[in-house]
Amino acid sequence: MWLSEVYEIFMEAKGANRWDDERKCFVDPQGNLIVDPNMVYLKRLLQLFQLQEIRENPNYKKEMEDGIKR
């Protein structure tokens, strides 16, 4: 799933009042959490975003290495 797709889903949820700004999470029509926060693996999400960057930007790896060296 691409970051742009995730963003579209987020915007649709906000438009349908299915995003809780206070708790920063998706909710069902009754206001209950949709995703259990204990089941979200942030490390894996970050890896997926990095993979997307690598696919979209061929210079990503070099830019990251240059940033680390600074």
pLDDT(8) > 80: yes
3-state secondary structure of 54: helix
* 12: its two tokens: 């649709």
- 15-38 pLDDT, tens digit per residue, is 988 888 888 888 888 888 887 767
* Segments making up each domain of the chain, as ranges: 1-34, 40-70
Percent of the chain clearing pLDDT 70 (strictly above): 80
* 50: its two tokens: 């990095």
Contact 3, 52 (CB under 8 A): yes
The amino acid sitting at 52 is: Q
pLDDT(68) > 70: no
